[in-house]
Amino acid sequence: MKKIVIFLISSFLILFSHAKAADTIKLGILEDETGNFAIAVVPKIHAYELAVKEINANGGVLGKQLEIVRYDTQSDNRRFQEFARRLIKKDKVDVVFGAFSSASRESIRGIMEKNKMLYFYNNQYEGGVCSKTTFMTGAVPEQQFSTLVPWMMEKYGKNVYTIAADYNFGQISAEWVRQIVKENGGNMVGEEFIPLDVSQYSQTIQKIQKAKPDVLMTLLVGAKQASFYEQQASAGLGIPMATSINVGQAYEHRRFAPPALENMYVTVNYIQEVHEVIKSGEFHDKSKDYVERFRALYPDEPYINMESANAYNAIYMYAKAVEKAGTTDTMKVVSALESGISQDGPSGVVTMDPKSHHGSHTIFLVRVGKGHEVTIPKIWKDIKPYWLGDNGCDLANKADYSQYTPSNPPKN
Amino acid sequence: MKIDYKKNKLQILTFIVLGAIPLFVDSYYLDNISYFMCWTFISLGLAVIWGMGGILSFGQTAFFGLAGYGFSVISINFLGIAGVSLWSIVLALMLTGIFGLIVGYFLFYGGIYDVFIGIVTLAITLVLETFMQQTAGPEYTIGDARLNGFNGMQGMPTIGFENIPFGLVEGVTQYYFILILSIIILISLYKFKNSKMGLIFLASKEDRDRVSSLGHNVQKIQLIAFTIASLLAGISGILYTNWGGYITPDSMGLVSAALPVVYVAASGKKDFFSVFIGCIFFVWLSQTLAINGKQFAIIVMGLILVIATRFFPDGIILMLKNKLVEKIKWLQS
Amino acid sequence: MVFLFNIFYQFGDSLAFLLLAAIGLAVIFGMMKIINLAHGEFITVGAYGTVVSGKVLNLPLPIAMAFGVLITIIFGLILEKFIIRYLYGRPLDSVVATWGISLIVSQSFLVIFGPSYEGLQTPMGNFQLGEFSYSEYRIFLIFFALFILFLLYYLFMKTSFGTLARATIENPSISSSMGVDVKNVYTATFAIGAGLAGLTGALYAPTMTIVPSIGQAFIVSAFITVVTAGASPFIGLVPAAAFLGTVQTTVTFFFKSTIGLIAILCAVILIIRYLPNGFSGLLLKKRSK
């Protein structure tokens, strides 16, 4: 008799735990909470948590609560590889969000695709990933440079000099700049590629001065390379700078002593100052609302950056797609995402492009002033990620799992 | 191969336990343990040259990366040919061994010794990393294989036979392959240690000049040991690349170069078995800390290393192993 | 004239960086033979000490820098007492211990101060010469680096303390039998080395981003410069830094920075191979002829 009771109780418990498990939708998150990339990534982690909290408070998705399973990847590619497998095989999550650097994204994209795991990459990057089960919510070069470069050339002059980090992101971004400068009748008066470990820029500054450019494109990545800004200011370089990288991710304008970033222009898809600078209208209201909700949950957040907006939008887009598909089955959610999902987020409406799986963006042109105060001279609405779609990537109709570059476009 | 069963009871017991593990754990844990074991070969290589010969090299990761990239480039270029993954391993290891010979020749026949070997090998590793990091452009393509710089290389085939459903893809076959390989290598290394060449190598750590004055060609033996170490590092590189389907220049950076040194020193560089177990333990530990320790994971890791050198200079794992054998009489012959 | 000054500036800037990166390590590794993988962290302590005291206590920059150096000396003393003194004579074991220290310190800084800290502005201004403008502070650094090195040379080669320190480190048992308190000499020397690394951090803090890994930018340069300097670091450091700086600046001028970095690493490999006693060995040999 005792044995039967024990058996029944344990079966109930097992059934109950299984049943309970099926009541949540598990979101796997792989982000660098510590390490070199933490500055720009911690706001993303909090944005995921904010979105999940809000959706759960509104009844969840398909009647189920969203549950986050998150690992700190320590800005280390090996951790990405280890924990990706853990999320897929042990935690058995329904979707994965994460990665900051392209290297860490690429270290896990293969295993995500192989296991048909839906994967959202929510960071700006060099563009070109055309993958059936991957969705990118971050900004790409055609969005940030096709707006920034012609504007700078019109305002300051046609001679452009680029300094870029000497690796994939820097090289490809520089390639985009070169192309756009040429298309707009400008001159590349110089280009310098600098390895990620370099922190001293006297020689670089001299080279720039010799070339006398009107516009200096600074495509520098990481804390070491960011030392350039202080050094160029103390050398009195005085040339307007343009970038797609700084301010919007690691809020250098708050961390560096002025006037290091004076006269720097950045194209971002969001920053927390949007509603402080734009006093009324759609962008003011949406930004203010987002920041207020964010700070209610995280009052000590040092800065709410553009990648946090991408992370936030990604969760909502996933939720919408799952509702639309009626299931968390990867390929069905993919189809739902390809049917034209939009999200009205912190920076306005973001739409997922079915051909390339990239998001369209509102692009704000940010100018940093002498005291590091921020102004927004121009806004471009709904800039589409046109390059992949124009060059043969059509994921809604043709599955693919590659990354392309301007010199290696998809072959039709 | 003659194995002294009585003296090695602890080792045999350990391998029996390891062999039985697949019966008790699921595929995630099994693949995770396979991953930990991938790192043992590079550490064993370091145990050979540092533990036996007193040669501290930061270059093991250079060979790791070279073999990983070599395997990837060769196998991607010959995709589709029967058994491509297998003979690209052979070719990649040959390439790594040749590079090991060249570097070793430069070091030992060039009169470089002690701490300078560390600096030169570190410089070589950093040169490779710096060069590889910027190979993102399309011009850096070897045949069909694009090096892809900092973002790393993918698309290499997994090790296996095309027509036979066995392969080192995941799961049980990968695990047993690595385990059996470990056993073979450990036995071979013990043989080497007890061989004439091994004894001379051990002696050369104490007093290099005296050993050469006795007529032994110390440089040749150092060169052979160094090449063995480079091949072992290469095996780790290939297994890791196969496990993850991915290789980056990161694997040749400053941190990656220091890790094998740290694992070997903390485990007990003089004993191969301790290094084998210790390496698995420390990789597991750093992963577990990362999962559970969040911000303090790295601090705890650092504390363990400091405590290890301060209180257990011969290695924590070796010390534990000796204590265990001491306490449990049955383990002694 | 403009062109010459330009060359002087680029060369001097590179020289200053290599020299200042190396000075602390020259004492701890060059003299005491401890492979200090935590050298970067000493620099970080000096940098943070300067910036935090400058911002929080509102100290003028030179005082903040002195504060940074002091903090690093204290930090070095604590490390020496509890860990380092067990590593003398075990150069290869010092690798593991100092690596552990570097992990602890860098991560602790991340936890305490966050991933980034607001920096200080570079002091002094800039001036124009022809088509180029130059940072006055960086020129100051060139002269200051040479000055510090001269001071160190004097301290360790010409004073009785210096001779005592060198002799004790070279042969502790004889020194001890002659009544020298070996422990104190080692501690004092280590503290000087730590303080110098802290000085590097303090000096460069206003020119770089203040992150817990700020010291990592110096560590490779430090090691290769000290090794190239050779057995007698205070004689060899300037020629070593000059040589490596020239290689890097020239190669970067003709190719690009990445090749410059590779060139400097290859130069070190060749120096170790063909000049095993480094530049100091070369100079001492010439002097004795």
Q: Which of C90, C96, C273 to mutate to test the interface with B (most CBs of B within 10 A)?
A: C96
DSSP letter string, A5-56: HHHHHHHHHHHHHHHHHTTEEEEEEEE-SSSTTHHHHHHHHHHHHHHHHHHH
CB within 8 Å: B295 and C110: yes
* d(C-alpha C272, C-alpha C280), whole Å: 12
Half-sphere exposure of B308 (CA within 13 A, CB side): 32
B contact set with C (CB within 8 A): 50, 54, 56, 106, 110-112, 114-116, 118-120, 122-124, 126-127, 130-131, 133-134, 254, 258, 261-262, 265-266, 295-296, 298-299, 301-306, 308-310, 313
Structure tokens at A292: 């207020």
CA dihedral A61, A67, A73, A78 (to 10 degrees): -80
Instruction: Indicate if the alpha-carbon torsion angle B124, B127, B129, B131 is positive or negative.
Output: negative
Residues of B whose CB is below 8 A from A81: 244, 246
CA dihedral B308, B313, B316, B321 (to 10 degrees): -170
**Domain contains B266:** no
What is the separation of C-alpha A100 from the centre of its chain, rounded to a whole number of angstroms? Answer: 7
What's the pLDDT score for residue C126? Answer: 87
Contact A268, A241 (CB under 8 A): no
Which position has the token pair 């969000």?
A: A97
Q: How many CB pairs under 8 A join A and B?
A: 94
What is the separation of C-alpha A386 from the centre of its chain, rounded to a whole number of angstroms? Answer: 17
Angle subtended by helix axes A282-297 and A306-325, to nearest 10: 90
Name which of B94, B90, B76, B86 is nearest B141 in CA terms: B76
Q: Encode burial over B2-40: b for 16+ CB neighbours within 10 A, e otherwise.
A: eeeeeebbbbeeebeebeeebeeeeebebbbbbbbbbbb
Q: What is the pLDDT along chain A (412 residues), one digit of tens a residue?
A: 666 665 566 555 554 444 444 689 999 999 998 888 888 999 999 999 999 999 999 999 999 999 999 999 988 899 999 999 999 999 999 999 999 999 999 999 999 999 999 999 999 999 999 999 999 999 999 999 999 999 999 999 999 999 999 988 999 999 999 999 999 999 999 999 998 888 999 999 999 999 999 999 999 998 889 999 999 998 999 999 999 999 999 999 988 888 889 999 999 999 999 999 999 999 999 999 999 999 999 999 999 999 999 999 999 999 999 999 999 999 999 999 999 899 999 999 999 999 999 999 999 999 999 999 999 999 999 999 999 988 889 998 888 888 888 878 886 5
Return the DSSP state at A298.
Answer: -
What's the pLDDT score for residue A181? Answer: 95
Q: Give the nearest chain C residue to B106 (CA atoms).
A: C273
B144 pLDDT band, cuts 50/70/90, is confident
What ipTM does the predicted assembly reach?
0.88
* d(C-alpha A352, C-alpha A243), whole Å: 25
Q: What is the residue type of A78?
A: R
Q: Which of A107, A175, A197, A198 to mutate to test the interface with B (most CBs of B within 10 A)?
A: A107
Distance from CA of C176 to the nearest CA of B (A): 24
Helices (H) and strands (E) in chain A, counts: 14, 16
**Domain contains B59:** yes
Name which of A335, A284, A285, A287 is nearest A308 in CA terms: A287
Cβ–Cβ contact C9 with A under 8 A: yes
Is the peptide bond prior to A141 cis by the omega test (within 30 degrees of 0)?
Answer: no
Q: Alpha carbon of B148 to those of A80, B74, C234: distances in Å?
A: 19, 15, 43
* d(C-alpha B117, C-alpha C96), whole Å: 17
What's the pLDDT score for residue A19? Answer: 44
Q: Is A159 helix (H, G, I), strand (E, B) or coil?
A: strand
CB within 8 Å: A203 and C119: no
Contact A303, A254 (CB under 8 A): yes
Residue B169's domain comprises 32-253
**Domain contains B15:** no
What's the pLDDT score for residue C88? Answer: 81
Distance from CA of A296 to the nearest CA of B (A): 24
Taking chain C (289 residues) in runs of 10, the rounded mean pLDDT of each run is 84 92 91 88 96 90 94 95 84 82 91 86 86 89 92 88 85 83 88 95 93 90 91 86 92 87 92 85 74
Contact A266, A248 (CB under 8 A): yes
Residues of B whose CB is below 8 A from A79: 287, 290
Q: Alpha carbon of C117 to those of A188, A250, B225, C218, C257: distances in Å?
A: 35, 12, 48, 19, 28
Q: Which residues contact A408 (CB under 8 A, 6 or more apart)?
A: B138, B146
The total of structural domains in chain B comes to 1
Residues of B whose CB is below 8 A from A193: 134
Q: Is A140 helix (H, G, I), strand (E, B) or coil?
A: coil
Name which of A104, A108, A78, A114 is nearest A96 in CA terms: A108
Q: Give the nearest chain A residue to B248 (CA atoms).
A: A103
The total of structural domains in chain C comes to 1
* d(C-alpha A226, C-alpha A235), whole Å: 15
At C277, give phi and psi (nearest 5°). Answer: -100, 15
Q: Per residue in B289-325, pLDDT tens?
A: 888 877 788 888 888 888 888 888 888 888 888 888 8
* Cβ neighbours around B323 below 10 Å, total: 10
- Confidence check: pLDDT of B134 > 90: no
Contact A222, B150 (CB under 8 A): no
Contact C17, A203 (CB under 8 A): no
Q: Is C114 helix (H, G, I), strand (E, B) or coil?
A: coil
Instruction: Indicate if the alpha-carbon torsion angle A269, A270, A273, A279 is positive or negative.
Output: positive
Structural domain A142-275, CATH architecture = 3-Layer(aba) Sandwich (3.40)
Distance from CA of B278 to the nearest CA of C (A): 15
CB within 8 Å: A171 and B137: yes
Residues of A whose CB is below 8 A from C107: 34
Q: Give the nearest chain A residue to C255 (CA atoms).
A: A192
What's the pLDDT score for residue C163? Answer: 87
CB within 8 Å: B244 and A193: no
Q: Give the nearest chain A residue to C211 (CA atoms).
A: A223
* d(C-alpha B35, C-alpha A106), whole Å: 19
* Cβ neighbours around B319 below 10 Å, total: 17
What's the pLDDT score for residue A17? Answer: 45
CB within 8 Å: A171 and B298: no
DSSP letter string, A395-411: TTTS--EEE-BTTBPPP
Dump strand ranges (E) for A293-360: 342-345, 348-351
Contact A165, A193 (CB under 8 A): yes
Residues of B whose CB is below 8 A from A90: 26, 28-29
Q: Per residue in B265-294, pLDDT tens?
A: 888 888 999 999 999 999 998 899 888 877
The domain spans of chain A are: 12-140+283-362+385-403, 142-275
Structure tokens at B173: 């076959």
- Confidence check: pLDDT of B110 > 70: yes
Residues of A whose CB is below 8 A from C264: none
Strands A264-268 and A241-243: parallel
Q: How many CB pairs under 8 A join A and C?
A: 123
Structure tokens at C127: 């001036």
Q: Per residue in A219-232, pLDDT tens?
A: 999 888 999 999 99
Name which of A83, A79, B304 is nearest C103 in CA terms: B304
Cβ–Cβ contact A103 with B under 8 A: yes
CB within 8 Å: B149 and A168: yes
Q: Which residues contact C65 (CB under 8 A, 6 or more apart)?
A: C50, C199, C202, C203, C205
Which position has the token pair 């390929």?
A: A331
Q: Per residue in B40-99, pLDDT tens?
A: 999 999 999 999 998 889 999 999 999 999 999 998 888 877 777 788 899 999 999 999
Strands A215-219 and A241-243: parallel
What's the pLDDT score for residue B33? Answer: 92
Q: What is the residue type of C196?
A: L
Q: Where are the alpha helices (DSSP H) in A135-279?
A: 141-156, 168-183, 202-211, 222-234, 252-255, 274-277
**Domain A12-140+283-362+385-403 = CATH 3.40.50.150:** no
Cβ–Cβ contact A224 with C under 8 A: yes
In angstroms, the first-to-last Cα distance of chain B is: 19
Q: Per residue in A333-357, pLDDT tens?
A: 999 999 989 999 999 999 999 999 9
Name which of A246, A254, A242 is nearest C210 in CA terms: A254
Domain A142-275 in the same topology as domain A12-140+283-362+385-403: yes
Residue C270's domain comprises 2-288
Residues of A whose CB is below 8 A from B132: none
Q: Give the nearest chain C residue to A209 (CA atoms).
A: C132
CB within 8 Å: C96 and B266: yes
How many residues in total does chain B contain?
333
Residues of A whose CB is below 8 A from B136: 167-168, 171-172
DSSP letter string, C254-285: HS-HHHHHHHHHHHHHHHHHH-TTHHHHHHHH
* d(C-alpha B155, C-alpha A403), whole Å: 12
Contact A77, B250 (CB under 8 A): yes
* Cβ neighbours around B115 below 10 Å, total: 18
Comparing CB atoms, the residue among C134, C208, C258 nearest residue A195 is C258
Strands A24-31 and A65-72: parallel
Residues of A whose CB is below 8 A from C112: none
